[in-house]
Structure 1
Amino acid sequence: MVNHSPTKIHIKDIEGRYTLINNEAKKLYGLTGDEGLGKTSFDLFPKDEVAAFLAHDKAVLVSGETQEAEEKFTLDGDARTYLTTKFPIFNQDQIVGIGAIGIDTSEQIKEKEKIQESEERFRNLVEGSIQGVLIHADNKTLFANQSYADIFGYDSYKDILAQDSALDHVAPHEHERMKAYSKARRGGEDVPITYEFEGIRKDGSPIWVENRGWVVNWKGQPAIQRTIINITGRKQAEEALRESQNLLNSIIENLPVALLIKNSDHIIERANSIYLKWYGFDANAIWGRRSDQIENFQPAEEVGEMNAQELEVLATGVTKTRRLERTFVDGQTHTIDITKFPIYDQQGNIAKVGSVSVDLTEQVQANQAKSEFLALMSHDLRTPLNAIIGFSDLISQQYFGPNSDKYQEYAEDIKSSGELLLSLVNDILDLSAIESGKQSLTKENLSVTDVVKECEAIIKERAQSLGVNVSMTVPKNLPLLFADRRATIQILINLLSNSIKFTPEGGKILLKATATNRHHTFEVSDTGIGIPANKIATITEPFIRGDSDPHKTHESTGLGLAIVKSLVELHDGELEIKSKPGKGTTVTVILPGGAS
């Protein structure tokens, strides 16, 4: 029976001589028959192996108890490992020998070593990854790399292994979903491989991760592997983007103006509620379509011009504004300003065109009513003013006989005040005529030299009386100017008068004219008090003065530059003002076109 056992069995006496060796042991030791009996381990095995055998034997003899140990044998170059159980053999309470039963564990050890090597290679591989890796079976953590621990704020992967559950660092509201996914995955059901879940870091702070999960073989048993990356930053960016988009949408939809956005192919990508309300469109009916494909989108005669303007904005990035009349869904004609502007992509390239439309109907109507009222009032005021000025002049000239000095002074005051008031009325009348559209231009070919000389004659006496030096520079042979004579003279007179009013005694004023084939330029420079930088933007508005000090008395209505601006715009020209307080002001007028 002993000889047929698949385990090696031998018995030694207390002197270490073999008294029994079964067939399995003989095969291991390379023996046949009885040749091993009576011999010791020194006779059969290498000395370096014998020391371990004898140490195990001695432990049994000393303790009198069974001992278990791994013993290694090398015979004919073949290394084998046996798990050997050694026990004492008694005779009347005396140990008379040592028995040994050994099971060959060589293959199991090799397999275990292979598994350990595989695990080591796996750990070395995943430890070099920035992705967190965790393997679990029924939520019992079997493996975790350092990156997994780092992501959740733990010092070591061993902290993860020590947790009771692989769900300990998963937000509680995610537990049921995670369990369901794991169960379904083990059962071969179709569940998402990649998904996001909210976790909890060691310090209790929330964290978002993206997980890829699948079934793996772990030490011969099925398990679930998680491979995660930290996406908290991405989630925060997405949330910030959502908030930004919601804010932008809220602003767009609550703007008191109409907004339209088209791409570079004139396809509508966005229209806000005001735009849809004005024209009675449904968003789904116009979004994603070209403007020329939408019925009644805009008058046919405007399509080409609008597309050309949009292409210009796309090409140059320059904002364009134009005023036109449009019929709204209410059937009424409205005056609107449309401003087209570029929209840039992330690379800084112009990708779209935005249009903002402002309904100016009420403003235009109010301005029209104001201008008509002012024109009427100015006309009614001018008639009695002319009479006041005329009679005061007669009195001051003493046509009706001598006056006392006091009455002479009164008459002159009445006349100068009347003239100032008449100047104001005339300015109001001119401005209201322009704003109401009643000011028409009669353009003709003008000699710039003649125009400048006429202006010089008008303002020369006043400038001299105030001690201001006015000079004119007009090159010879300037091209003729095609413009309205009266308007051009009024522009220059107003500019020169302004300079005279605000230039102290001894100051200088220069009117310089230049021209090219495309435009004429008039530049009026003075050494006056100048205009504060914060006033330049509004100085051309009616009744605005650059010097608002109530203690300084300049005879100025505040309409001169407003009229200049309006007359320049009627000529499709440009007005530019540069000034330094205490140094002076330069006003430049550019009128387009040469002689007709």
Structure 2
Amino acid sequence: MTQDWNKLGSYPEALQEIIQFAEDGIISLDQNQNIVLFNNGAEKIFGYASKEVLGQPLTILLPASSRKAHKRYIETFSRTAQTSRIMSKTIPLYGKARDGREVPLEITIQKHRGASPIRFTAICRDISHRLCREQRLAENHAKFKAIFNSSNRLIILMDDQGRILEINRTARTFLGQDQANYVGQEIWRCDFWNGEIYPAMVRYEIKHLKDDGFSRLTAQITSCEGRSMSLDMSLKKFATGPEGEMLIVLEAVDVTRLVKTNEALKESENRLARAQQIAHLGNWEWNISTNEIYWSDEVYRIFGLTPDIFEASYAAFLATIHEKDRPKVEKAVEHALKSGKPYSIIHRIICPDGKEKIVHELGEVLRNERGEPLSMTGTVQDITESWHREKALAEARNQAEAANRAKSQFLATMSHELRTPLNAIIGFSSGMQKGLFGNSPAQYREYAGYILESGQHLLSIINDILDLSRIEVGAVQVKPDWIRAEELITGTLRYITEKALAKNIAIQTDIDADIPDLYLDKRLCRQIMSNLLTNAVKFTDSGGKIIMGARLHASPENIPEGDVEIYVQDTGIGMKAEDIDKVFRPFAQADMSFTRNHEGVGLGLAIVKNLTELQGGRVTINSTPDVGTCVSVFFPVKAKIFSE
């Protein structure tokens, strides 16, 4: 007869064994929430022996941070009609082990009624391992998502029937659709294909793709901008685990330009036979043991030879090489055979008609198990045209650099010539304003002040042009010495305080105490700080604030001793992110309109950047429109001085 084991009250010994030896922790409490039952599972979870906790309040097993909440929870549960409840449905609860560890738990609580001395029973399960697995799974998923979305390829993940599961960021950018518009669709039914042939090709490849199989094809789609794109696509079918579901990943690269280039090349090949010869890339193979060489048709065409009149061999190949390049080629081949490194060399050849060509050869050595060379395979490409083009470009670049130096020298000369009469104008207008040449009407003194102000502004521009010209022609001499960051900042403030006060701008300093001395050119650094502070005052409205500071940064990999940041932060007009690179160019400003409200010709930050880099530093800008700008110069603690 079958026993009704649900009536365990008839079998107290069996019930006791179930409770005592269950893997889950079973804890019973009396009406005062003192522990009256503590089974073996609970001992394993909390590390206490049963005799240590019996009679103790439940709080011994609770972290201090959750005791009040637990008390409120029990009081609320006591007032409900429920007899049991899962306490950890949304988030894991934690118990406190004997060694102080907090143990994540899954807890079900039972309420007992009647005359039983046991009021509550909790069944606890240690879910530490489960949480670890979930965390590892989440981390792996995050890594997958990062790789998935950071790829510059279009990636679409599908099930084994071709239904889309996920689309990466690059694909969404090209397709211009939210992922939800495509998820669940069979990929060949999507609306981005050009015509009917390509979705049919994709469907065929997916339907015939074997497990762990790979397929490749070229297809065309229409981007969100309406542009037709050619894609080099690959399909790979794989399992997610030993018994996991099969998935298909589609990876695609935009080869539109390459396809158009190849089409244009094919069209030009029909008209230009010589262009056809230049465009071809030949391959070759050298059997070292037999000294036999295989040349493709393209190699023969590059060398101006034909198989019927030329017997390809290593010696015959060497004979075609320009006599001055021959030792270099032999040495490169010998080095590749001995070292095992790839063979790459550019050299000249002489064709039978006496024409000289320049070719680029690449090759690798195939070896046996003992490391002995067996053969050498590679390619040869005629780069005569590109070689001469690069040579012409290099010559043009040299000429442009020479012209730029001549321009800088001209600007420097003209600036010197302008500064001499300008100093006289400034001197006389200053004297007239101060009445040094006798009393004059107030209106004349006002006009003299305008002349003085304009002259000083023009002199400042000329000085900036002179500084930039001297930098460009390499005439700036760096004379480093040890300097304190605090001295550099406070010393610069003296030159700008009057202008700041005139605009009611508050200036503060914030200098870390642990900044070491810097080995820099004091004069150049003061000019850097003066330019930054002048800009901050210029672009900050009345009532604004400027902070000059210095702080030490942790050591990046390329600067073992760390670096010091000296910065000027303002509450000025700020600038857009796309304008930041622009302001480092000479004669450029974020606002280049004719209606801009701020004077200057855009040389200040260009000079700052050049003088900073001349001393081994770098410049960064963080700016937000209508919020402000922070310009930072970074110098290594042991600055390496560059001087041309």
TM-score w.r.t. structure 2 length?
0.43
TM-score (norm 1): 0.46
Larger Cα-atom Rg: 1
